[in-house]
Chain A
Amino acid sequence: MNKTFFHVVKRDDMPLWKAWLIRGATIIIAILLVGIISTVVTGKGFGETYEKMFLGVFGRLFEGKTTMLWKYLQDIAILLSLALALTPAFKMKFWNCGAEGQALMGGLASIICMIELGDKLSYPLLIATIAVTSMLAGALWGVIPAIFKAVFNTNETLFTLMMNYIATQIIAYYVYIKGGGSNVINPVAAGNFPAVGNNKYFVNIVIVAAITVAMFIYLKYSKQGYEISVVGESHNTARYIGIDVKKVIIRTMIISGALCGITGMLLVAGTDHSININSVGGQGFTAILMSWLGQFNPFIMVIMTAIVVFLRLGVAKVADSAQLNSSFSEIMVGIVILMLVGCEFFIHYSIKFNKHKKEVAE
């Protein structure tokens, strides 16, 4: 008898609205699923779970308190800035898995400037130095694997991944020296980003918003963005029209690394005023998924990061109130991302059931 009950057929003709309907439905189902699991695990009511989730993200927003909202936007900004940094490399099909390390190196440059030059330079000059050095440090960490890829065709995924561990160890070493043997550096007062009003995240958010728009324009309307797309699609086509593939790989990774370096700066000079090996906290890896789920479109990435950060903060609050640790929130975010990735299958393939065989059997 027939062994295949159904078979899978590739399709690439799904209208855009339908694809987004599937994605939207997936997000809603995912959030419902998270609510159900949370309710079961914590033993609290269904409504209460969502209330806690909302509280965890927006706080007492309706009573006019915006602190939590700003924290939410800040967290979006950091994750988004890493996703944006990876996007030009990904569009070129250069799998930069080293956002974590590139951001840490940017952060390291920032903290070194803050500690060593904090009392030597005027404030504007100090900020400028921090910006330039952190971009250079991130770019350096990004360009090393790019040069090896361009010249020796080494595998960039492994290379960038390895660079993360080197960066982490350098940070650990630096913290060990500066922290006097402890694994913390006390917050440094010099070279902090200014607070606008009472809001210390404002500058970070504005910078990332600007990068979002700039990245969109760069990829879509600039000649360099066009070259990135061509190289990403086919090295042969690039060669055929005379694009220097090596140059584009190296240039793009300098940009990607420098943007990661900026994220490091936002974290160190703009947020923590200190550094440790967990400063980036694995967001460099989450950012890979954000860039993909956003289909390399900066504006869709904003939506995707907003959803993921919402769940992370919200579920953390739910877990917290039920005395569960933060892993619970990470598991939930993992489930949601998995579902979002999984729903792409139904957009790109359709399943056909082999019903005709039954008719024959009868």
Chain B
Amino acid sequence: MTKQSAIELKNITKVFGKVVANKNVNLTAYRGEILSILGENGSGKTTLMNMISGIYFPDEGQIFIDGQEAVIASPKDAFKYKIGMIHQHFKLVDAFSAAENIVLGLNEGKYDLKASTEKIKEISSQYGFEINPEKKIYTMSVSEKQTVEIIKVLYRGADILILDEPTAVLTPQETERLFSILRRMRDDGKCIIIITHKLHEVLSLSDKVAVLRKGEYVGTVITAETNESELTEMMVGKKVSLNIDRSEPVDPVPRLVIKDLDCIDRNGIKILDDISFTANSGEILGIAGIAGSGQRELLEAIAGLQQVQCGEIVYNDPKTGKEENLRNKTPMQIRDLGVRLSFVPEDRLGMGLVGNMDITDNMMLRSYRKGRSVFLERKGPKDLAQHIIEDLEVVTPGASTPVRRLSGGNVQKVLVGREIAAAPTVLMAAYPVRGLDINSSYLIYNLLNEQKKKGVAVIFVGEDLDVLIELCDRIMVIGSGRITGTVDGRTTTKEEIGLLMTKTEQQGEVQDE
């Protein structure tokens, strides 16, 4: 039973300013084992792994590799200890090929791309990767890019692999493929550490689960001996029910009708291709798809932030019964038409809010123009800020705290609160629970459900298929800028949506031949 640990952390502490990211964390991982690090966003998973891979340096504590104490002060040191990290955000040079990216920064003496390519092929066949070493990064799908990142660390001889939320950007099928590769690596004697907050993945993949909560180490359990609700309780610290109630839509009428919408991006590439759909009042329409398939552009086109090539965006005004075409109108013009369109963008602090402004001033973003005066009216926004802080239980020292100081969940409450306060008839939300803890996520789902009951047409762009299936009335799947199918949220399955997500790519290949 004296198995040699591959990596052992002892009393690791890391503090950023006042925020304790990790406190006295103890962790052991063995070779031939997959260890999941489970925790909510902000529980310190990534910080901990960054310390192992040399990006941060711990304030206190020790790291042991193969029983020897190690000082990992830079990513170079990490490589020396054969530690490789696959980050959530890929760090690849777009204009280079896969092979070029893999050897980049290596000092092997001679630059011999042919030999490197051979070695890459060897690694690929050993673990079952499918990769073309000559392919340029910018032509690759997300899953291919991830493969390159993994091969990159294997090429450097890593035998301790850390993967930060590797499945966040993958379809269910791609996830399965990744998992089988990871299992093969484990059987090969490598130590795999995977960071995640998806419970079912933890259960299906890992041998052991280490749980972090608010920077503190809660415990390690053997996966086979635990279940979903026990893990959730460890993660959150209390029992939570994981059910979203879904009511039947009440008299849905078409609120927003999109017809044959086309958009091109800055490089002239078609990003939205012939999109037609209807969003009904009193209904949640989910939009599923691989990240970057045109979801953002679609919402921005509706909100008046994205130039539209052709097509129509017709809004049916519930008050007057009139039809308004919103195509290529600015957000100002849309508002002047009396269209109450609220939009919770994906980039909260870079688009929806101003990080350096306080909550009151952020409330004003939507309403500051009101009135003829050249001066600002801060009373209304201040009351609204107070109201949102109380109603949505925003944790903040006060209404005059800059929003960037708030945690992710509270930032999102402020943003969603403001957008809902405008009494919308259409509410669009892009990845509204990304990075949020479980409690905040469920609060957001409930807010969306409330709006639905009020007769608002809700459009919800999500990434977690389980949630989409539980929350939405209809789910529209988008792939490479095209609608690949619309399914009923009550009857569909994850696999069905997963297949639709990748459908256009396959069709495209067929057409090319």
Residues in chain A within 8 A of chain B (CB atoms):
1-4, 7, 9-13, 221-224, 226, 229-230, 233-234, 236-237, 239-242, 350, 352, 354, 356-357, 360
Distance, CA A179 to CA B416, complexed state (A) = 66
Which of B60, B331, B374 makes the CB contact (< 8 A) with A356? B60
Are A226 and B368 touching (Cβ within 8 A)? yes
- Name 20 extra pairs, CB < 8 A, besides A7-B57, A236-B351, A356-B59: A1-B71, A2-B73, A3-B73, A10-B16, A221-B375, A222-B376, A223-B369, A226-B376, A233-B354, A234-B354, A236-B347, A237-B351, A237-B365, A239-B331, A240-B303, A240-B351, A240-B352, A354-B57, A356-B61, A360-B69
Residues in chain B within 8 A of chain A (CB atoms):
15-18, 57, 59-62, 69, 71, 73, 303-305, 330-332, 335, 343, 345, 347, 350-357, 361, 364-366, 368-369, 373-376, 405
Are B331 and A242 touching (Cβ within 8 A)? yes
Q: Is the interface of A mostly helix, strand, loop or mixed?
A: mixed
Are A9 and B16 touching (Cβ within 8 A)? yes
30 A–B contacts, CB within 8 A, in A order: A1-B71, A3-B71, A4-B73, A9-B15, A9-B16, A10-B17, A12-B17, A12-B405, A13-B17, A223-B373, A226-B361, A226-B364, A229-B354, A230-B365, A233-B356, A234-B354, A237-B350, A237-B351, A237-B353, A237-B354, A240-B303, A240-B305, A240-B331, A240-B343, A242-B331, A356-B59, A356-B60, A356-B61, A357-B71, A360-B62
Distance, CA A357 to CA B70, complexed state (A) = 11
Distance, CA A318 to CA B343, complexed state (A) = 63
Q: Tally of A-B residue pairs with Cβ under 8 A?
A: 84
CB distance from A266 to the nearest CB of B (A): 26
In the complex, the chain B residue whose C-beta lies closest to that of A1 is: B71
Distance, CA A236 to CA B347, complexed state (A) = 9
CB distance from B349 to the nearest CB of A (A): 8
Distance, CA A240 to CA B342, complexed state (A) = 11
Are B374 and A240 touching (Cβ within 8 A)? no
Are B357 and A229 touching (Cβ within 8 A)? yes
Distance, CA A3 to CA B366, complexed state (A) = 51
Are A239 and B17 touching (Cβ within 8 A)? no
- With a cutoff of 8 Å between Cβ atoms, the chain A residues found around residue B331 in the complex are 239-242
Distance, CA A350 to CA B18, complexed state (A) = 11
Are A223 and B354 touching (Cβ within 8 A)? no
- With a cutoff of 8 Å between Cβ atoms, the chain A residues found around residue B366 in the complex are 241
CB distance from A345 to the nearest CB of B (A): 15
Contact A241-B376, Cβ < 8 Å, known A2-B73, A10-B16, A13-B17: no
Are A241 and B374 touching (Cβ within 8 A)? no
In the complex, the chain A residue whose C-beta lies closest to that of B305 is: A239
Which of B17, B355, B375 makes the CB contact (< 8 A) with A11? B17
Contact A223-B17, Cβ < 8 Å, known A234-B350, A240-B351, A242-B335: no
Which of B18, B350, B374 makes the CB contact (< 8 A) with A224? B374
- With a cutoff of 8 Å between Cβ atoms, the chain A residues found around residue B373 in the complex are 223
Are A352 and B345 touching (Cβ within 8 A)? no
- With a cutoff of 8 Å between Cβ atoms, the chain B residues found around residue A239 in the complex are 305, 331, 351
- With a cutoff of 8 Å between Cβ atoms, the chain A residues found around residue B368 in the complex are 223, 226
- With a cutoff of 8 Å between Cβ atoms, the chain B residues found around residue A242 in the complex are 304, 330-332, 335
- With a cutoff of 8 Å between Cβ atoms, the chain A residues found around residue B18 in the complex are 11, 13
- With a cutoff of 8 Å between Cβ atoms, the chain A residues found around residue B305 in the complex are 239-240
Distance, CA A324 to CA B71, complexed state (A) = 55
Distance, CA A356 to CA B57, complexed state (A) = 12
Which of B15, B330, B335, B354 makes the CB contact (< 8 A) with A230? B354
In the complex, the chain A residue whose C-beta lies closest to that of B69 is: A360
CB distance from A123 to the nearest CB of B (A): 32
- With a cutoff of 8 Å between Cβ atoms, the chain A residues found around residue B304 in the complex are 242
- With a cutoff of 8 Å between Cβ atoms, the chain B residues found around residue A13 in the complex are 17-18
CB distance from B254 to the nearest CB of A (A): 26
CB distance from A180 to the nearest CB of B (A): 49
- With a cutoff of 8 Å between Cβ atoms, the chain B residues found around residue A241 in the complex are 331, 365-366
- With a cutoff of 8 Å between Cβ atoms, the chain B residues found around residue A356 in the complex are 59-61
- With a cutoff of 8 Å between Cβ atoms, the chain B residues found around residue A226 in the complex are 361, 364, 368, 376
